[in-house]
Structure 1
Amino acid sequence: MNASTQAAHAAPAPTQENPPLLQTRHPHAEWLASGQEPPLEPGRRIIDPHHHFSHHWGGYGLDDLLRDTGAGHKIESTVYVQCGWEYRHAGEERFRPLGETEAVVRLAEAARAGGAQTDVAAGIVGYADLLLGDAIEDVLGAQIDAGKGRFRGIRVAASRHESFQHGVLSRPPLGLYADHAFRAGVRRLARLGLTFDAWVYHTQLQDVIDLARAVPETTIVLDHIGGLLGVGPYAGRQQAAFEEWLPLLAPLAACPNIVMKIGGYGTTVFGYDFVSQPAPPSSITLAQAWRPTVDAVIEAFGTNRCMFESNFPVDRASASYATVWNAFKRLAANSSESEKTDLFYDTAARTYRIGDAACEN
């Protein structure tokens, strides 16, 4: 998967009809509004380590994010994660993904100038064609410069299944993470103090294990609990998927350079269909649905290697932003205070060098 392939999925240039600061036009906005809940533990400090801005998924811009982060939970900072948004439309292909970083920085600076309570995009995870191997270093340096102190890592999705296509990004080649040049690119990340976010389906988790073993010096953040499938050949067979996924947690956790993001359940491939119901689910319902996987991940990794993530706007297919964080707080209710601090703040702060953790690295 190269930069030109990713660029083909970038959003069109802003126009009067397609403004860069999108207002919510989500088709289920009224549905979401009908299920609002007051925030639980509103004083708990939170870093949201995974959200997007996008023209996809009904659109999600700065105003939308600030509306969500201002809905009652104490979202102190966020981490923006690439989704092929606002790439440059000219220049060398390998540098075009810098447009996404540049656009996010503009929104982050606008939020700060406007007095936002949340440090928007305190960390940015962008895209670079790691198949360039050692030759990627100048692109990474340019991304760091474009991030103006916010750039923290690279995500390259390898999520692919032979029987179905999903998502707004390109269809990556099978075995991408095993490519020799790709692994050389991942090693370059560590030399520059950058992380690698991995997005795969659970049927590809051995690829992540092999990558982590091959590049132990690079921190790998596994998105969305490892992409537990509930569609395609797993439609109506979620227990079978769970039984395939569960034994892979131990070898994943045995790689000390892997950190897990807990969330992403609103992603279509998980197979939940809350959005087709007359009313959105409560945080109690969400917590009940997610608990088996959340408990399994935390047991395997420990809270110091796990972080809750919103994955907004994608996870609007589950519930509102405030309700999703309520569900996470319910799931962590029996954890100790230090464990809760890990899950909601410290693991993300350490991984992405945010706040006090930025000064420790």
Structure 2
Amino acid sequence: MTTTAVSSRFFPEVDTSVLLRFLGESPQHPEFAAWLDAHGIETRPHLAEQDPSFAEDGDLAYENARASEIDEVERHSVCLIYEGSDNFERLFERAPATGAFVLKQVAFYAPGVQGYRGYAGQLPRGLRFDLTRPQVQERLGMPTASRVIHGLAADLYLDAHWAINVSYLDGGQVGIVHVRPLHRFDRRMLGLAASDVDADAVDLQQLISLLGVSTYDETLEGLLEPLGWQSADFDMADCDEVPNLIPRHGIALYYRNAAEYPQLQKREFIRDGSVFAGFRVNRRGDMLSDGYEGRLPFDIQFHDTPEQVIARVGRAADAQVVDLDTAALKWKLPGCILHVMYSLIDWQVYRVTCFAPFLEDELFARRY
């Protein structure tokens, strides 16, 4: 995360409508670049290869590059949040003409948040920092979701143009307003776009039926081979999560050593004794993936809310985990353990994982 510091030089206040026009635009675009310069915003997002530390410390360069995508502008009490152009196009189905990054989201801060003086311009949709949650709901209607994100109560509003997250301070008034364009999953949630199923995607029901078989089971290998998977390429006895299929197919594979699980002791597993223990599918844009676009278990959709997921499964989850900006639901089901991770920010499903039943003790003892 970078911070644009305050200087004694005069810069004009931000015009909200102009700033929001640049959502989806590259900071290298001449008009946007000129606007940033005119408002004293010098920081630009950069790639790891462009970081000064890249030659000596690639990991540090990567961390610095990731941090550069979030620019806290103290002078104006706003935060500019960028996304790599390739991933922005995956989610928003459009890319800028130039530049490796796109402005994806803007956050406006109330006085005192981050120690700043507070955003001085007009907030979108007639919002004000002195409004309470009931007053916001009176103006904008009932939110799509109400939850706690990073310790703050927050409401999500979706309309035909924007996704707006309103976070509230302990005193009950508006503290932060995040604004971004609608992405493909928002539009599906709102019924503005259809959900197309890729008929050629690997059949997850078949994968579920193979949980617990040998890594080298012919049916399993045959099912995964069209994706470019070859177990012979890896030391499977030393594998846990295999991420190689994530970028193109949105699939991660899980393997375990059968000898470590008492439930499997009476069975024989060839070669190194490894066993197929599970798989995860990511939605498009998650983990920089093109995403899995086949049919999910229980006909779960990646734009589903957690309430909709529960309704599709048909009963409450056996366990729930809530973190700062994500949460997960877990079910013990015949044939598999179902794990659905969703975003508290988007209030939509990000990942669906199916594990073999022999991992039950391990999975329900962990917080993830």
TM bin, normalised by shorter chain, reads: under 0.3
| Greater RCO structure (CA 8 Å; 6+ sep) | 1
Larger of the two Rg values belongs to structure: 2
Structure (1 or 2) with the greater helix fraction: 1
Q: TM-score, structure 2 length as denominator?
A: 0.25
